[in-house]
Amino acid sequence: MKADRDLIIIGGGGAGLAAAQYAARANLSPLLLEELATGGQALIIDRLENYPGFPEAIPGTELTRLFEEQAVRFGTEIKYTGVQKLTWSDGLFTAHTDDGPLTSLAVILATGAKHRTLGVPGEKEYAGKGVSYCATCDGPFFKGQPMVVVGGGDAACDETAYLAHLSDSVLMLHRRDRLRAQKALAERTLTNPHIQVRFNTELKEIRGNAKVQEVLLLDNKTGKTVAQKTSAVFVFVGSIPQTRVIEGLGVKLDQGGYVETDQRMQTSLRGLFAAGDVRATPFRQLIVAAGEGAIAAHTAAQYIDELKGDAYR
């Protein structure tokens, strides 16, 4: 059976758009499937100032618009539809979309990950206005100002240490009586003079006026609440990799549910590649996602050439 496309890319964030551009330049005529809008996590970044080549801060929406424009100019087709699941049979992948099945020789999974949220009043309202899920993205905007961090795992400790380089007033909240991060990482956090760790404490509300000004904290041992002034709230309570579409394929995941790949972005299922935040990676940033997307497209092109007997020897 002939495939509808050589390559299908699922997800239109930074990784997916970069993969699309490189795949299009390799003459694969890629089809990118995106459920809502291209851009992914970058869409909620008001001022992106750490992407190389842009010395002045650029809105995440504008940068990803340029990503999309470039990919389309080289020959990418973008289809806005949801993908319910991905199956594999007789050498072909089938993306079961809201508009019907589409087949391909190879697939790049770039569905990303969603930040876990606290679900407290004010969190959604002040997202991008003091509430953040990325210290390296937004921390510099609050240099020298008081900040609150919510979380107690490895990521929370890592990100808090970064923020402690920017301010000597970083308050870390954890709802339990000890950090769940690795012992050495937890010890460094607890002994950092710029970090105050408050255990058995939950953030119950985020307040402000156009931007974050204070938070309401609950001591879950005593039941008492107290207001705390702050300029920013950084939430690191985990993320949820978006792997639903590959359930049933037996693709290897790590303990956190992220897709494991080799350095060529190849998953445990031949012909299925993964890039960006859905992949097990030590550093989730737009530039990393874009680089992984480029690698995935390059490797996918080589894989497709091999299938067609066109591989360079």
For 26, the 3-state DSSP assignment is coil
Q: Is there a domain that residue 302 lies in? A: yes
Instruction: Give yes or no for residue 46 having a pLDDT over 70.
Output: no
Look at residue 224 in the predicted model and tell me its pLDDT: 96
CA atoms within 13 A on the CB side of 13: 31
223 and 128 share one domain: yes
92 in any annotated domain: yes
Q: Are the C-beta atoms of residues 109 and 274 closer than 8 Å to each other?
A: yes
Please count the other Cβ atoms lying within 10 Å of the Cβ belonging to residue 237: 17
Kindly state whether residue 198 falls inside one of the protein's structural domains: yes
Q: Are residue 109 and residue 192 in the same domain, yes or no?
A: no
In a domain, 313, yes or no: no
C-alpha 265/C-alpha 25 separation (Å) is 19
What does the CA dihedral 36, 39, 40, 45 come to, rounded to 10 degrees?
A: -130
Give the side-chain half-sphere CA count within 13 A for 184: 0
Region 25-29: what's the mean pLDDT? 94
Q: Which of 95, 98, 89 is nearest to 7 (CA)?
A: 95
Taking Cα atoms as reference points, which of 89, 144, 133, 104 lies closest to residue 3?
104
Catalytic-residue membership of 134: yes
Same structural domain for residues 67 and 148?
no
The residue among 218, 235, 252 that closes a domain is: 235
Q: Are residues 12 and 109 in the same domain?
A: yes
**184 pLDDT exceeds 90?**
no
Q: Which of these three, 209, 235, 261, is where a domain ends?
A: 235
Catalytic, 157? Answer no
Residue 125 shares a structural domain with residue 23: no
Shared domain for 198 and 282, answered yes or no, is: no
* Residues of the chain above pLDDT 70, percent: 98
Q: Is the pLDDT of residue 55 over 70?
A: yes
Please identify which of the residues 46, 98, 99, 137 carries the catalytic annotation: 137
Per-residue pLDDT at 115 = 85
Alpha helices in 26-59 (DSSP H): none
Q: Is the pLDDT of residue 312 over 60?
A: no
**Residue 103 belongs to a domain:** yes
226 in any annotated domain = yes
Beta bridge partners of 303: none
Shared domain check, 167 and 87? no
Residue type, 203: L
Distance CA 110, CA 278 (A): 6
What pLDDT was estimated at residue 14?
94
Question: What residues pair up with 259 in beta bridges, in sequence order?
Answer: 253, 279
The whole-number pLDDT of residue 1 equals: 67
Count up the domains in the chain and report the number: 2
Over the stretch 74-84, which tens digit does the pLDDT of each residue have?
999 999 999 99
Give the pLDDT confidence score for residue 284 in this predicted structure: 80
Contact 63, 111 (CB under 8 A): no
Please write the tens of the pLDDT for every residue from 207-237.
999 999 999 999 999 999 999 999 999 999 9
Domain presence at residue 195: yes
- Token output for 119: 């679900």
Asked whether residue 24 falls in the same domain as residue 38, the answer is yes
Q: What is the mean pLDDT of residues 162-181?
A: 94
Token pair in block for residue 271: 């012909």
Q: What does the pLDDT average to over 46-70?
A: 87
Kindly tell me if the per-residue pLDDT of 305 is higher than 60: yes
Q: Mean of the pLDDT values across residues 245-263?
A: 96
Q: How far apart are CA 226 and CA 234, in angstroms?
A: 19
Residue 44 — very low, low, confident or very high, per pLDDT cuts 50/70/90? Answer: low
Q: Is the per-residue pLDDT at 255 higher than 80?
A: yes
Domain match, 96 and 157 both:
no
Query: Which of the listed residues 208, 235, 262 is the one where a domain comes to its end?
Result: 235
> Which candidate in 6, 138, 158, 277 is catalytic?
138
Contact 198, 174 (CB under 8 A): yes
pLDDT of residue 4: 94
Most confident of 16-20, 62-66, 278-282: 16-20
User: 77 and 170 share a domain?
Assistant: no
Which residues are 10's β-sheet partners? 33, 109
What span, in angstroms and rounded, lies between the C-alpha atoms of 271 and 8? 11
- Domain span including residue 205: 117-235
- Residue 311 has a pLDDT of 58
Rounded to whole angstroms, what are the CA distances from 181 to 57, 75, 157, 184, 187?
Answer: 33, 45, 7, 8, 9
Q: Select which of 6, 46, 98, 134 is catalytic.
A: 134
**Which comes out higher in pLDDT, residue 128 or 313?**
128
Indicate the average pLDDT of the chain. 93
- Mean pLDDT for 241-262 is 96
The CATH number assigned to the domain holding 254 equals 3.50.50.60
**Calculated CA dihedral for residues 262, 264, 269, 270, nearest 10 degrees:** -140
In this predicted structure, what is the pLDDT of residue 109?
A: 98
Mean pLDDT over 276-281 rounds to 94
Query: Do 226 and 135 lie in a common domain?
Result: yes
Residue 147 falls inside a structural domain: yes
Helical residues (DSSP H) of 194-261, grouped into ranges: none
Q: How many CB atoms lie within 10 A of CB 58?
A: 18
Note whether 171 and 268 are same-domain residues: no
β 77-80/83-89 pair status: unpaired
Q: Is the pLDDT of residue 285 over 70?
A: yes
pLDDT of residue 57: 83
